[in-house]
Chains A and B, each alone.
Chain A
Amino acid sequence: MRKEDTVKLISAEGFEFVVDKKAAMVSQTIRNMLTSPGSFAETEHGEVTFPEITTTILEKICQYFYWSLQYASILYDSGKESEFHIEPELTLELMMAANYLHT
């Protein structure tokens, strides 16, 4: 996996999640950060820091990115809707993070 194809997402606690750029772009917010014109740090280094998102939530979000990429093909191939499992205790926080990430 080449570095250009990946993005590093950093949580509030400093945990780094290296994900496919394609997956990260599921989030409109991240997409805008990575594609906006001009030499922002995010664009140049492929790193995005989320000081307000905890590690657990960010991990869940990364899971969602990949899930959403596979959703269509799974549905198409198997005819079944795959379910994205969310622990109820995370939901409220996850919802706000998702709102921020526009996803």
Chain B
Amino acid sequence: MTILRSRQVLPRPENKPKPAPESPSKALKSGFSFTAIEEPITPAKILDPPSTRSSYESTPTSSSFAQSSVEPDPLRSGFTGFGSESGWVPSSSAVRRSVRLASKRGVHEIERVTRVSSRKRKIDVVSVEKNEGVDSGRVSGKVKVLGGGKENGVEEIGVGVDKLGSVVGTACENGLCLDFGAGEKVVSGKKKANVAFSGQIGNKIKVSGEGERVLHDGSLVGSECENGVCLDLGGSEKSTSMKKAKGKRNIDVVGVLGGDSVKESERGKGCFNLRSGKKVAKPKWEGFGWSDSLKAEGTSILGRVEKGESVDKDSIMSGDRVVDQPKLELGMKKEKSIGSAVPDDSQFAVSSDQNELKNVKSYDGIRDGVIRRLSREEKGKGKLVEVDLLSDCMDEVKLIPEPKRETSIESTVFGDSATPTLENVKVQAMETEAKTHTERTRDRFRNIAKKSASKFAHFSAREEEENHVVDEAEREMPQREVEEEMEDWPGPFSTAMKIIRDRGTNANMQQENSSLHKANSSPVVWVPRKDRQDGRSKLLVPSLQELCIAILSKNVDAITSLDSVPDLLRHRLGQLLCDTRRMNDHFFDLLLSGSPTEIRVRDCSWLTEERFTKSFEACDVNNLMVLQLDQCGRCLPDYVLHATLARSSNCLPALTTISLKGACRLSDVGLGSLLSSAPALRSINLSQCSLLTSDGINRLADSLGSVLRELYLDDCQSIDAMLIFHALSKMENLEVLSLVGLQTVCDDFVSQFLALCGDNIKELVLAECSKLTDSSLKVIAKSCSGLRAIDLSNLAKLTDLTLGYLANGCQAIQMLKMCRNAFSDEAIAAFLETSGEPLTELSLNNVNKVGHNTAISLARCSRNLLSLDLSWCRNLTNEAVGLIADSCSSLKVLKLFGCTQITNLFLDGHSNPQVQVIGLKMTPILEHIKAPDLLGPLQYSSGSSLI
């Protein structure tokens, strides 16, 4: 499309290139800093958007993007701009409108716009750059602007808009000029060289924003301008831009992009070939990110060079009237322009601009073909585009005259390469083209496009998939936004969050102000104690009980009786024996002798069926309240169960707690018979019972129903959460529910179950239920006001919102476990500030973002903390951990596995004599492995209250 124009313009470019060089200087004078617009700043932008970029990288196109990213091009900035969508729409749209109007009215208004933009640029060069990115983002000029704005921030957005506006204006000007005539062009070109330049800049910006494509676009735009009235300007722009550094970059980018586009291009083959080396379509893609739908469109516009190519393609594709040769020529022309601007483009750089003029005719023909094609595709793509661009795009589209829209669509169609950005570029180009061509050619194209539309109808499974993913992402996004809005209601959490953030920014500012003086200054102030005596007092003397138990464990066989030994000591001894693999028949018999109330063996893997049967038959179990036979897969198949635990109904009258973890031979039937023999059960742990299915759980619910208090079903891989939903909902008094690793646990399950039974829930262990999202936690916070403990380990989808919900909804949480969560330092700190007071146990294992904010809040708000796990929190310094240890006066256990950054400075310097640091320096860890609570049969209810 642009090519056609370029032909028209070609004659002028020669003349006007001169003004163009001047224009840069003018622009500088006017306050626009071309330099600012140029890439130099963009690299910084590139740095900024890592998050957005990363998401893009996941897409196939990302590879190309990564390549392009290497180069300090404006393109990236454009991408980044795209990544962020929020906030920009209103201002940008306004700008657009103004721009459009300006374009319609004439150069003067445009000038105003440019002035505004110039001011803004003065304000923030960086922002301008961003704006550039935005420009590119604004797909067809308009949209692009919007996209770019949001990331940078409101101010930036505004600027971006202006720029965009300016850019648009330029584009419009070009278009208008083309339409209206050279006279305006000349004026703008010279007198209002600023404007022209701004326009050019805009174009450039667009190019940059779009990335490689931007360049192309810019070229395209330029070419368009050239083609139309502003060909001269375009040329000048090109030259300027090229001079400024884009030239080479552009070329490089083009090359890169071309490669990418070729790879990516799913549709057009011939087109791709042509494009290869020239096209930049992919970058746009990446930039869009959010508007993945654009992908569907898939049509990417090539750079200027591409235009030529695209033209060829179009001709090829459409097979319409366009002559291949002319197209090629056109391409060459484009190349020429590029070449002039950038030496690197020399490949194509061929004939002089004059040739281009000749080609113009052919270009026109090509354009027509292209347009036609586009128009055909418009229908489908138009929808896509709208969807992609979302409301913003829609607005723009609406604003844009119909012809423009068609053109844009067409351009996208041509691109075929499947790059949304290209589409944007195309759209821009199309707009200008539309302006030039006007309705005259519109109908013609439309007809042609209708005829050839079917050729462009492609189905790509991959795209479909991507779109699906995108859809999902988009579906989640709005939800999230809504939630975020709700969260914005100034609850205690968000207030704390804000304070902490402000604190952070203030600290940063201070640090900047006093920048070099204290580069290493930490926000955490902690002075290690130097006196040696303290080091001595911190040595924990082994207690007499430990010494005794250790000796006993080495002499198990010499023990003749455990009569009168309290259960607690039995457990500790048994635990040590199990951990050291010294557990044997003799000790097991000792445990079962007499009329025990509790039998706890946390590792029965040594126990054979025969031995278990024999020992248990001799045991008086009438008083047995607690039975723990973990890892009993070997000794507890159904038939042994029938001979021991379930030998008759009600044979375990007092049993309230049973733990059969790892009973991998226990079936639903076995569970049923066990339930009939132990009617008083209140707590049952069936973790890792891999044979159990929902049938077993249904039996459980039928027999124990509303009296069951604790249920552990960790890693029962045969259980489908949705199938046990009804069973669980019968357990109205459930206090502890542990569903670690049940992959079928989803948001629906959690929300429905808790809506019914959430009132009594005290402890929820949802670790590794990887489908859970913030919405589950929202329900939890809403339904479980009495929640005391929650385990969120390895829930990767959770965000800071989760902590907000918990902080505001569950004020009584005493035990909070996190592991590998994506929570931010500020959010954790805000949680601690808001509801960290009751916490006695906190695990922040491998929560990477934990930093000084968390440390400060821990020190301030966690007086009751007994156990703290900061393993793998590698951002914590000696000072931070020292502050925590000294401030948490109740702290007994501090786990610091993997914290190699913590040195003796902390170990010797902290002044909390009670705290036991585990994980550094080969400290013994065995006894700190979390063992079941040994204090009583139930964790949250006293046994007596149950009977």
Partners in one complex: yes
Find out whether the CB atom of A92 lies under 8 angstroms from the CB atom of B565: yes
Q: A98-B544, A99-B568 are in contact. Are A73 and B559 (CB under 8 A)?
A: no
Q: Which of B535, B542, B552 contacts A95 (CB 8 A)?
A: B552
**When chains A and B are docked, how far (Å) is the Cα of A101 from the Cα of B547?**
14
Q: Which of A61, A64, A72, A98 contacts B539 (CB 8 A)?
A: A72
B929 adjacent to chain A (CB < 8 Å):
no
**Beta-carbon contacts of B564-576 to A below 8 Å, as 1s and 0s?**
1110110000000
Given contacts A88-B555, A96-B565, 7 further A-B contacts (CB under 8 A): A71-B539, A71-B542, A84-B544, A95-B552, A96-B569, A99-B566, A99-B569
B457 adjacent to chain A (CB < 8 Å):
no
Report the minimal beta-carbon distance from A50 to chain B, rounded to whole angstroms. 14
Find out whether the CB atom of B564 lies under 8 angstroms from the CB atom of A86: no
Find out whether the CB atom of A103 lies under 8 angstroms from the CB atom of B543: yes
**When chains A and B are docked, how far (Å) is the Cα of A75 from the Cα of B544?**
17
Find out whether the CB atom of A86 lies under 8 angstroms from the CB atom of B565: no
Report the minimal beta-carbon distance from B678 to chain A, rounded to whole angstroms. 30
Contacts of A84 in B (CB 8 A): 542, 544, 547
Find out whether the CB atom of B548 lies under 8 angstroms from the CB atom of A95: yes
What is the number of residues of chain A that contact chain B, defined by CB distance less than 8 Å?
20
Q: In chain B, what residue has the closest Cβ to A64?
A: B544
Find out whether the CB atom of B537 lies under 8 angstroms from the CB atom of A72: yes
Q: A92-B559, A96-B569, A99-B568 are in contact. Are A71 and B552 (CB under 8 A)?
A: no
B558 adjacent to chain A (CB < 8 Å):
yes
Contacts of B569 in A (CB 8 A): 95-96, 99
**When chains A and B are docked, how far (Å) is the Cα of A4 from the Cα of B711?**
55
B619 adjacent to chain A (CB < 8 Å):
no
Report the minimal beta-carbon distance from A80 to chain B, rounded to whole angstroms. 13
Find out whether the CB atom of A91 lies under 8 angstroms from the CB atom of B555: yes
Q: Which of B541, B559, B565, B568 contacts A71 (CB 8 A)?
A: B541
Find out whether the CB atom of B539 lies under 8 angstroms from the CB atom of A91: no
B514 adjacent to chain A (CB < 8 Å):
no
**When chains A and B are docked, how far (Å) is the Cα of A88 from the Cα of B551?**
7
Q: A88-B558, A99-B566 are in contact. Are A94 and B544 (CB under 8 A)?
A: yes
B residues 500-552 with Cβ under 8 Å of A?
535-537, 539, 541-545, 547-549, 551-552
Contacts of B555 in A (CB 8 A): 88, 91
Q: Which of A73, A76, A96, A101 contacts B566 (CB 8 A)?
A: A96
Could you list 27 A-B pairs, sorted by A, with CB under 8 Å?
Answer: A64-B544, A64-B547, A71-B541, A72-B537, A75-B539, A84-B542, A84-B547, A86-B547, A86-B548, A88-B551, A91-B548, A91-B551, A91-B552, A92-B548, A92-B559, A95-B544, A95-B545, A95-B548, A95-B549, A95-B565, A96-B566, A96-B569, A98-B543, A98-B548, A99-B545, A99-B568, A103-B545
Report the minimal beta-carbon distance from A63 to chain B, rounded to whole angstroms. 10
Q: Which of A72, A88, A92, A101 has the most CB of B within 10 A?
A: A92
Report the minimal beta-carbon distance from B888 to chain A, rounded to whole angstroms. 21
**When chains A and B are docked, how far (Å) is the Cα of A84 from the Cα of B547?**
8
Contacts of A101 in B (CB 8 A): 544
Report the minimal beta-carbon distance from B16 to chain A, rounded to whole angstroms. 87
Q: Which of A61, A84, A91, A101 has the most CB of B within 10 A?
A: A91
**When chains A and B are docked, how far (Å) is the Cα of A94 from the Cα of B542?**
14
Find out whether the CB atom of A72 lies under 8 angstroms from the CB atom of B566: no
Contacts of B545 in A (CB 8 A): 95, 98-99, 103
A43 adjacent to chain B (CB < 8 Å):
no
Find out whether the CB atom of B549 lies under 8 angstroms from the CB atom of A76: no
Contacts of A96 in B (CB 8 A): 564-566, 569
A55 adjacent to chain B (CB < 8 Å):
no
A6 adjacent to chain B (CB < 8 Å):
no
**When chains A and B are docked, how far (Å) is the Cα of A76 from the Cα of B549?**
25
Find out whether the CB atom of A73 lies under 8 angstroms from the CB atom of B536: yes
**When chains A and B are docked, how far (Å) is the Cα of A86 from the Cα of B549?**
11
**When chains A and B are docked, how far (Å) is the Cα of A99 from the Cα of B552?**
14
**When chains A and B are docked, how far (Å) is the Cα of A41 from the Cα of B541?**
30
Q: In chain B, what residue has the closest Cβ to A61?
A: B544
A68 adjacent to chain B (CB < 8 Å):
yes
Report the minimal beta-carbon distance from A61 to chain B, rounded to whole angstroms. 7
**Beta-carbon contacts of A49-68 to B below 8 Å, as 1s and 0s?**
00000000000010010001
**When chains A and B are docked, how far (Å) is the Cα of A98 from the Cα of B544?**
6
Report the minimal beta-carbon distance from A30 to chain B, rounded to whole angstroms. 13
Find out whether the CB atom of B536 lies under 8 angstroms from the CB atom of A76: yes
Contacts of A99 in B (CB 8 A): 545, 566, 568-569
Contacts of B542 in A (CB 8 A): 71, 84
**When chains A and B are docked, how far (Å) is the Cα of A98 from the Cα of B548?**
9
**When chains A and B are docked, how far (Å) is the Cα of A61 from the Cα of B544?**
8
Report the minimal beta-carbon distance from A75 to chain B, rounded to whole angstroms. 6
**When chains A and B are docked, how far (Å) is the Cα of A92 from the Cα of B570?**
11
Contacts of A75 in B (CB 8 A): 539
**When chains A and B are docked, how far (Å) is the Cα of A99 from the Cα of B572?**
12
